[in-house]
Amino acid sequence: MKTPNKWLMFIVLMLSAIMVCISQLKISAVLPDVAAMLGVDLTRAALLMSLFTVAGIVLSIPGAAIMTKVGAKSTLLVLMATLALGNVLGALTDSFTVMMASRIIEGISYALIITVSIWLINIWFAHGGAAVATGIFNTFAPVAIIVTLNGSLVVMNTIGLKALWWIVAGATAVCFFLVLWIIKVTPPAAQDGSGVGATAKPGICEAFKNPAVMTICIAHLFLSFVLFAFITCYPQLFTFYNLSQETSNFYTSLNGVFGIPVCILIGIIIEKTGKPFVVAIIGAIGTILLSITVPLLLPGSYVWHVIACAMFPGGFVMTSIFVIVPRIAKSPLLIGMSMGILNTLYYIGVFASTPVITGLSLENTTWTVPSIAMTGAAVVVLLCMVIASGLAKKQAAAPTTPDPE
């Protein structure tokens, strides 16, 4: 049977990742309505956003190890199945406790979707174009933001709040069968020209021993804290500035509108220049400025602030990180494990972000303290990327180690 075109398989992978992100964000767009339905306050309802990442925190590293044994396609099928199951359970309940359980089940897909995707991209595009494909892949979150924040209120007002869960469940089922029929995977050892044999079994300890990767993982933790504070709390921030819920969601969705071309452009720039660390450092500086200005917005600045969010943390830094880690992993067989560590720290940041920032805003009455917390996290991102750049260059000087730049 002829192997499908790598770009066709990539499209199926993208659709799967988009559905995972839509499932994650669907509550943020209608958070007050979800809180009212479940009979809880906004702070407790915000936990439903964070619980989506609990499985990611627990399963990212062991899941990456399992993926190397059972294969990326089987893992992706499991992710789509659990995402559909979690949404069906959420659609059938009005209990806050059961809804929390459903979010954890949904979150199993979130635990490994990035790890599986980056691993597959670096297999399919092993002979060139991985940075461009990574940049395009990183648009899955902006696309999901556009769809969710512009569509959720329409769906809720037209056919009901629970329809959000049913729609995601049905679309995920379609993705399951597309993965089953279209995606094909060749093990990385078969494509590896570095001499790594098919019987090599790199363990988690080997990935932990890479100081450059570990430093980037720390940066990713603090980046995710800042990025998801914006993504999930922008609607609250804009209502703080006396905008309507519909207008707040629209402005927030512009993150996705501008994030799509930014991520693609950054992937192309990295592919052409080979300088992902430089791009990441520029993005970290922009993220600091973005965080400082949160309590200082004026009418007319809202759109520009959202554009900057799409550019700096979501485009410059995150796309660069997804390119850097596979490049500085000491073997193609360590990419999955390295991404597993990266995503564990990422999910911890995502888990903490929404409830912490919502709490610091004192039920959306002040944004000065949240701004301080986000600025501090952005400074850590910058420091880590500078340190990781030096460590990666030192690693590149060692024999047989590819140059990350």
Model pLDDT, residue 41: 84
Cβ(38)–Cβ(99) below 8 Å: yes
147-155 mean pLDDT: 86
Which ranges constitute the DSSP H helices of 125-210? Answer: 130-137, 140-159, 163-182, 188-191, 204-208
Contacts of 345 (CB under 8 A, 6+ apart): 217, 218, 220, 221, 224
Model pLDDT, residue 128: 86
Residue span of the structural domain in which 283 resides? 6-188+200-396
pLDDT digits (tens, 9 = 90+) for 233-286: 998 899 999 999 888 878 888 888 888 899 999 999 999 999 999 999 999 999
Tokens of 133: 């494909």
- Give phi and psi for 233, each to the nearest 5: -105, -5
147-158 mean pLDDT: 87
Residue 53 has pLDDT above 80, yes or no: no
The more confidently predicted of residues 252 and 15 is 15
> What integer best gives the mean pLDDT of the chain?
88
Residue 183 lies in a domain: yes
179-191 mean pLDDT: 75
Among 80-89, 149-158, 223-232, 267-276, which stretch is predicted with the lowest mean pLDDT? 149-158
Model pLDDT, residue 13: 97
Residue 405 lies in a domain: no
Residue 402 lies in a domain: no
The number of folded domains in the chain is 1
Residue 194 lies in a domain: no
In the chain, pLDDT over 70 holds for what percent of residues? 93
Tokens of 103: 């979010």
In the chain, pLDDT over 90 holds for what percent of residues? 60
Residue 403 lies in a domain: no
Torsion sign (Cα): 307, 312, 317, 323 = positive
Contacts of 158 (CB under 8 A, 6+ apart): none
Residue 404 lies in a domain: no
Model pLDDT, residue 401: 46
39-65 mean pLDDT: 83
- CATH of residue 110's domain is 1.20.1250.20
Residue 401 lies in a domain: no
pLDDT digits (tens, 9 = 90+) for 78-87: 999 999 999 9
Residue 195 lies in a domain: no
Phi/psi class of residue 297: alpha, beta or left (left: φ > 0; alpha: ψ in -120 to 50)? Answer: beta
Cβ(91)–Cβ(169) below 8 Å: yes
Q: Identify which of 57-61, 157-161, 211-215 has the greatest average pLDDT.
A: 211-215
pLDDT digits (tens, 9 = 90+) for 357-377: 989 999 889 999 999 999 999
pLDDT digits (tens, 9 = 90+) for 305-342: 999 999 999 899 999 999 999 999 878 778 888 999 99
The more confidently predicted of residues 22 and 126 is 22
